[in-house]
Every structure is written in C-alpha cells, then in structure tokens.
A and B are shown apart, each in its own frame.
Chain A
C-alpha cells in the first residue's frame, strides 16, 4: 500500500477563500447543465462533443485571440509533454487535470485565475503506474446542493473532491478515496504497490453512479500471458460504495466463458475499458468499449473468440448486468481495441426515429446499432478473412464487416496505396513494401523472418483510424464528424522470445533484432548495464518512410462527416497543413500537391452550431505562420475551411467550448516535442478592438 500523503499543495486557504468568494450561489436548484456549459468530458454523457454555440463562427474565427493560458509544468515534479485533457466548465468554474502528478485545478473560466489545486503524492505506487501523467480529465456531479469532482490518480485510486474547495470529501470511501486495486473480484498481482492496473480516461458519473474502467501497459511485448483483468465497476457517488462489477473476461459459469478455450479465461488479462464510457441516462444503459486481451498481436494462448475482447457491451446502469453485446473483432490480433467513446445518436431510419449508438474505430468502420436492442442498423455480415500460419495461433475465419457506412479511413495496405508522387518514389516504396506481407483489414500478423516477410503491413491497427479522442455528433444534422489517421502504419511481426523475457510463445518484434527485456513505464531494473546486442547477419532497420515522406499516398489524416440517417459521407477533407518534410522535399519540387493532412492519431473534434473545430497534430513552418500548429474551423455543412488560429504547439487534448459572462471561449490542450503542456483559452476581441 502506498503512503497516502495527501497534499493539498496550495489547496491554500486563501485560494479556498477566493474560490468561495467567486463561486456563484446557485446551489439551490437541481443540477441541470446548460448548453453554455461543458459539464462532462465529451460535453455530455452521449459522447457528442457538441454545443449549440455560435458567437464564434465563420465570420470571426480567425480573429480569435488568447484570453488566458496556463502552463502545467509546476503541477508535478517534472514538466509534462503529453497533455491530453479536456477541461469541464460548469457553474462558473473550469476544472481540469494537469501536470505530471495529474493534479486537479480549478480556474476562473474568464481569466484563467487559479482558484484551487489538489494533488496526491502516491510514491512508488504512482511511479509504478502503467498509465501516468495528467490523464484525460475528470467528472463533475451535483445534486443541486453539493458539488463534487471525481478523478482517478495514476496509482488507481478514485478521489472525490468538494468542487468548491478542492478538499477531499471525507464521507466518500476512506476519507475521500477509494482504492481501485481492492474489491475488484480479483487479487491484483503481484501487490497493491506495483500491480499493473490503472486508467487515464475521465470517470463518468451518470445519475448517482460513477463508472470506472481499467488500463494496462502497452500490450505488444508482455512478459506473461497472465495479467490482471480490466473489469468495469460502478460506485455510489455519495459514499464510494461499489454497486456493481462487469467481468470483461467472464468468470466460470458466466456467459461467454466458453469463448476462451482451454481455460484461458482464468489467466488471460487486460481486456479493460481504457477509453471513455458513454451512458444513456434515460434508458439507464451504459455502453462499454472493451479493449484487446493479452497480448495485442499473439493470441495462441487464448484460443477462441475471446468475449468480451474488442466488443461493444451494453450494461444496465443500476446493476451492471449485460443487456446486449456485439463483438467487433473475433479473437483480436491487431490491437484494434475499441479506442473511443461510443456516440449516442437519435436518428431517423426508414422513416422512423431510432435511438442509435455509433462506434468509431481504428479500423475505419463506423459501427452503428440500435442502442436499445444491439441490432445493427445496416447489416454487418460475417465475411471470410485471411487465416495465418503462426505456430500455435488460433484464427477466426470470419469477421463482421459493416455494409454501411463505407470505411472512412484506409484500413489496409496494397501496392495501390503506396506513394506515387513520382515513379522513383513509387519504386522505392515498392522495394520497402516487398519486405512485408501486405493486405487488407484483418490480414493476420506474420512470424518475422530475415528473408521476409519482416511482418504484416496493414492498417487500422495500433494507431490507425480513430483513436482515443473519438468523434463528435451533431444532433441537428445527424452527422458524425470523425478524425482518422489515414497513414499511421506499424508493421506487425512476431518473434519467439527467450524464456527469461516472456512466457508467451511469440511477442511483437522483428527478425534480426535482439529480443530484449522491454521495460515499460514503471519498470526500472538494471538500467545502467545494457547488454550488447546479439545481432544476426542481415538485420537492418527498414524505415516505413522515404526520407520522411510517408510510405502511402495522401491524405495522411482526414475528417469525415457521415450522415447517420443515410449511412453516407457528407464530406471528407484532409485535415492539417502539408508537413514541412513534404512541402520542402527536393524530390517533389515542381509538383503541385494539394493539402495532404498530417500523419497523427490524436486529434479530437468539437462541433458547434455552425462549425467543426480541430487543431493540428503536427507543427509546421509556412509563409503564413511561424513554427507552430493551427486550430482550424470548418463549415460543418460543407467541410470548407472558414478560419484558423495559431497555436504554439500541436493540439494534444480535444477542444471544448463554453460561454461565461456573455462571451464564448474555446479551450484546447497543446504540447509535444519540446513544448510542455499548456491549456490555452481563445475568445473574440472585445468590441471595438
């Protein structure tokens, strides 16, 4: 157990006094979030990232200026370069997680003034956490009288704070904290301090239930086929008492246990819900996007379809009991997870209103279901897929393929996909590709061989398509707006590891590379004495780019508007300035290349009354702006760009918006490369300026 030294660093009395003075006295009515607020991570529990605000619009977007900004360097013992949070703004206060300690900060949403800060010093438990840094955000709850902030620390403890002061609520759990490594229907091994389990997403509070999933280390090269399991739990927001648990890997006797052959449900782990959870409070239903089981790319130790791995599961909000499920990928082998929040959409299908749920994915399919019954809106027939030949692997001969909408991002690699700006580049690309096994979505991983293939080259795997930022939904037009990486390629090769490295028969790797004990975050043994590599002849690094040019054709990153009444694209655009390495390439001199978009996977969108807003994931330096990235606005009806504003670093957390004192603000998290985390709030210049 870690030393729970709670520090209200600066939960300073003067800050408390200031906060109390600034808090509007509005706690008498029942809590009803307003359209001008942003009360939960994705704006609402439906995962829409939509607010019907229009003060900032096509006519003035480019006039936006910085209202305030706050660096997160001091909210931890070191700066953070991966700030992924989306703040909340409710009842006149902005709340966010920030910094390498995952502190919670409360700010004046008009000025950025710090009202209070809360941090937890978790010692070794925090240092050993599989998901560190500031995470993606927090949750707000109020019964009209009390206001609470809930978040999960890197060391996997659920903390409940008084939203007015930042002080723990003593009546919740144990003095304001619930140890999430306990009471989980499993013993977290090896111990509570170092046991691998955590979460980086924001908690969800629906009615009076807090819902928490679980996350683990990267699953490419696990040390063992055994790991802790990622169950999902509901807790009472008033007391912290556990209300229910959903076993994402069924226990013996439960539905789905027989999809884990040879007793593999007993020892297989992971299979958590690390991304955002969505809730329909009216229906009392929770939508759980479940990730991959152990390990990401080799499933020989878990024969069978492996429910509820990579499955969208609908459970009852009160009890956690399963209502329906749909497995997007049988026997997962590609690290597709389900990477983002399901989106709830009330659509019109066949002339009738339908309560739907739409699930973006890494594989570029938007899976759309009736969210009451789980029945696909458009058929998703099982289609044959390639069966591989990795020794010991178990393969599903089919996978469900949505008939509509069409895939909105590239989800396979063929010769036709390779760069073709010039014949010379195409030839070089073909040479690189010849070392791999190419194929469409669900082409299985291969054993890496020096003589080839080095691995499988497909897309829609680890960082393709849509990742954790997810999509947006516009209830006015019934359109989903979703960013996708159209060029993020990681080859999947498998190598047999030495026994001292892993007890799996295969882990991710490349032939000719020394298989090392790969240490993830939190592991630090034997750092200063690296062993020399035992390289075999012929080993080489084959960059999947040509002097920085992506191996595949543009667009490298896109935003697609998909109408859910029809299941059809409304528009699709390349998002992001053409990268410097493409724009300045000697090999491409004289060619007229339209905007390519960018090769990045962590771009989230915001939808307003008229705009779709998203920042760039790369920095560029152009004639129009110095080194930096742009926050861009598109006409949501057409996809035409209508404005852009400069950011000093790429967007790394999805933008949000609100109105306070009659003015609309947009807040976005930026960081990356040499630029440490910063929240920046934009607003329009004062009248007359």
Chain B
C-alpha cells in the first residue's frame, strides 16, 4: 500500500515535471538588440569593410551613387522585420560585386558585426554566428524594443 502510494506520488511528481517542461516556453528568440556580436569582432570587421565595401558604400557607410547606404533609414527599412540570416546571405552571395562569394563566412560575419556596431546596435559577449541557419534565428528590428528583460 505504502509502496503503491509512493509509486503513485512519484508518478504525479514526474507528470508534473513533464507538464512543467511542456509548459516552459521556448527560449525567447533574439534580436539585434540583444548583443549578438562582440566589440572585438566589429573591430576585426572594420578593415575588411574598408577594403572590400567602402569604395561603393562609403567610408561612413552612407552609400554612393551605385550602392545603398548601410546606415540610417534606408538601410533599416530594407531589413526591418527580416533576419540576420537574410542580410548575411545577401552579403555572402552577392558581395563584393566584382567577385561574389570571395570572402569567407568569418569575414562576412565580421563585416556584419562592424555594420551593427556603426548602426549602434549593442555589442554582447558572443560573436555573431557564421551559419545562415543560426543567423535566421536573430531578428533584425530597426526600432529599439521598449521593454528589455
């Protein structure tokens, strides 16, 4: 009887744990406001940007006649509501224009970190991923969220 009660209690406990697990929300998805790159990575990306991108996009990322700005309203409008994976793949597949795909994933991630830094998105403790699929989990939001946990 006692044994049966113990087993029943255990079963209840386990099921409660299961229920609790099932009810625990998935980890909140991240956005560019959650520190998705490091200062160090942005510093690494800066000279790569100046070497590979600035001739068309400008040394202050303000764009040129043949290339859009990578800062400010026009840039934010293009990517707002999409993911870092979308932006990363666009760079990786089409840039630099003369030889798309020439830069390594690491270089592209570093350039992207630099761009985020110039656009005043906060740096964090982990580097920006180099895999598109993982970057797709990071939302690009132009407006800073009001309430941050």
With contact pairs A463-B65, A524-B98, A527-B99 given, residues A518 and B55 touching in the complex (Cβ less than 8 Å):
yes
CB pair B143–A586 under 8 Å, yes or no, is yes
Interface string of B24-59 (1 = CB under 8 A from A): 000000000000000000010011101110111011
Pick from A131, A516, A527, A599: contact of B54, CB under 8 Å: A516
CB pair B98–A523 under 8 Å, yes or no, is yes
Nearest chain B residue, comparing its CB with the CB of A649: B78
Nearest chain A residue, comparing its CB with the CB of B82: A674
CB pair A218–B143 under 8 Å, yes or no, is no
CB pair B55–A218 under 8 Å, yes or no, is yes
A281 to B143, CA, bound (A): 53
Query: Is A94's CB within 8 Å of the partner chain B?
Result: no
Query: Is A434's CB within 8 Å of the partner chain B?
Result: no
Query: Is A582's CB within 8 Å of the partner chain B?
Result: yes
CB pair B93–A543 under 8 Å, yes or no, is no
CB pair A673–B103 under 8 Å, yes or no, is no
With contact pairs A517-B51, A518-B50, A521-B96 given, residues A543 and B107 touching in the complex (Cβ less than 8 Å):
no
Query: Is A404's CB within 8 Å of the partner chain B?
Result: no
Q: Which residues of B contact A81 (CB under 8 A)?
A: 90, 94
CB pair B54–A518 under 8 Å, yes or no, is yes
CB pair A618–B74 under 8 Å, yes or no, is yes
Query: Is B23's CB within 8 Å of the partner chain A?
Result: no
CB pair B47–A490 under 8 Å, yes or no, is no
With contact pairs A218-B56, A586-B143 given, residues A519 and B96 touching in the complex (Cβ less than 8 Å):
yes
With contact pairs A543-B72, A621-B80 given, residues A510 and B60 touching in the complex (Cβ less than 8 Å):
yes
CB pair A508–B59 under 8 Å, yes or no, is yes
Nearest chain A residue, comparing its CB with the CB of B119: A543
CB pair B81–A618 under 8 Å, yes or no, is no
Pick from B65, B72, B94: contact of A550, CB under 8 Å: B72
| Max chain B C-beta neighbours (<10 A), residue from A81, A510, A548 | A548
Q: Which residues of B contact A78 (CB under 8 A)?
A: 93-94, 100
Nearest chain A residue, comparing its CB with the CB of B102: A527
With contact pairs A509-B59, A531-B47, A544-B72 given, residues A674 and B86 touching in the complex (Cβ less than 8 Å):
yes
B81 CB, min distance to chain A CBs, angstroms? 5
Residues 91-130 of A contacting B (Cβ, < 8 Å) = 127-128
Query: Is A358's CB within 8 Å of the partner chain B?
Result: no
CB pair A220–B96 under 8 Å, yes or no, is no
A83 CB, min distance to chain B CBs, angstroms? 13
Q: Which residues of A contact B43 (CB under 8 A)?
A: 533
Query: Is A254's CB within 8 Å of the partner chain B?
Result: no
CB pair B64–A674 under 8 Å, yes or no, is no
CB pair A673–B96 under 8 Å, yes or no, is no
CB pair A513–B50 under 8 Å, yes or no, is yes
CB pair B55–A520 under 8 Å, yes or no, is yes
Q: Which residues of A contact B96 (CB under 8 A)?
A: 519, 521, 524
With contact pairs A522-B98, A673-B90 given, residues A548 and B68 touching in the complex (Cβ less than 8 Å):
no
B120 CB, min distance to chain A CBs, angstroms? 7
Q: Which residues of B contact A533 (CB under 8 A)?
A: 43, 46-47, 50
Query: Is A581's CB within 8 Å of the partner chain B?
Result: yes
A131 to B48, CA, bound (A): 23
Chain A interface extent, by class: 35 or more
Interface string of A454-493 (1 = CB under 8 A from B): 0000000011000100000000000000000000011100
| Max chain A C-beta neighbours (<10 A), residue from B67, B78, B82 | B78
Interface string of A594-608 (1 = CB under 8 A from B): 000011100000000
A446 CB, min distance to chain B CBs, angstroms? 14
B53 CB, min distance to chain A CBs, angstroms? 9
| Max chain A C-beta neighbours (<10 A), residue from B48, B59, B71, B143 | B59
CB pair B97–A518 under 8 Å, yes or no, is no
Residues 57-114 of B contacting A (Cβ, < 8 Å) = 58-68, 71-74, 76-82, 86-87, 89-90, 93-94, 96-100, 102-104, 107
Q: Which residues of B contact A672 (CB under 8 A)?
A: 68, 78
CB pair B59–A510 under 8 Å, yes or no, is yes
CB pair A521–B56 under 8 Å, yes or no, is yes
Pick from B46, B107, B144: contact of A586, CB under 8 Å: B144
| Max chain B C-beta neighbours (<10 A), residue from A521, A582, A585 | A521
CB pair B60–A491 under 8 Å, yes or no, is yes
CB pair A132–B64 under 8 Å, yes or no, is no
A196 to B126, CA, bound (A): 43
| Max chain A C-beta neighbours (<10 A), residue from B77, B96, B117, B120 | B77
Query: Is A425's CB within 8 Å of the partner chain B?
Result: no
With contact pairs A548-B76, A584-B143 given, residues A462 and B100 touching in the complex (Cβ less than 8 Å):
no
A219 to B56, CA, bound (A): 10
Q: Which residues of A contact B120 (CB under 8 A)?
A: 543, 547
CB pair A600–B90 under 8 Å, yes or no, is no
Nearest chain A residue, comparing its CB with the CB of B79: A673
Interface string of A612-623 (1 = CB under 8 A from B): 000001111100
Q: Which residues of A contact B107 (CB under 8 A)?
A: 528, 530
B67 CB, min distance to chain A CBs, angstroms? 8
Nearest chain B residue, comparing its CB with the CB of A454: B60
B119 CB, min distance to chain A CBs, angstroms? 7
Q: Which residues of B contact A489 (CB under 8 A)?
A: 62
A514 to B59, CA, bound (A): 10
CB pair A463–B64 under 8 Å, yes or no, is yes
CB pair A519–B98 under 8 Å, yes or no, is yes
CB pair B98–A127 under 8 Å, yes or no, is yes
A579 to B78, CA, bound (A): 10
Query: Is A532's CB within 8 Å of the partner chain B?
Result: yes
Q: Which residues of A contact B104 (CB under 8 A)?
A: 528
A residues near B, CB below 8 A? 78-79, 81, 127-128, 131-133, 217-218, 220-221, 335, 462-463, 467, 489-491, 508-510, 513-514, 516-524, 527-528, 530-533, 541-545, 547-550, 556, 579-582, 584-586, 598-600, 617-621, 627, 672-674
Listed A/B pairs (19) with beta-carbon separation below 8 Å: A79-B94, A81-B94, A133-B97, A462-B64, A463-B65, A508-B59, A518-B59, A519-B52, A519-B55, A527-B102, A531-B47, A541-B117, A544-B71, A545-B72, A580-B77, A581-B143, A598-B73, A619-B77, A620-B77
What are the 8 closest A-B residue pairs judged by CB atoms, nearest first? A673-B78, A518-B55, A618-B77, A545-B72, A516-B50, A520-B55, A521-B97, A533-B47
Given A463-B65, A490-B64, 4 extra CB contacts under 8 A: A516-B54, A527-B103, A542-B60, A674-B87
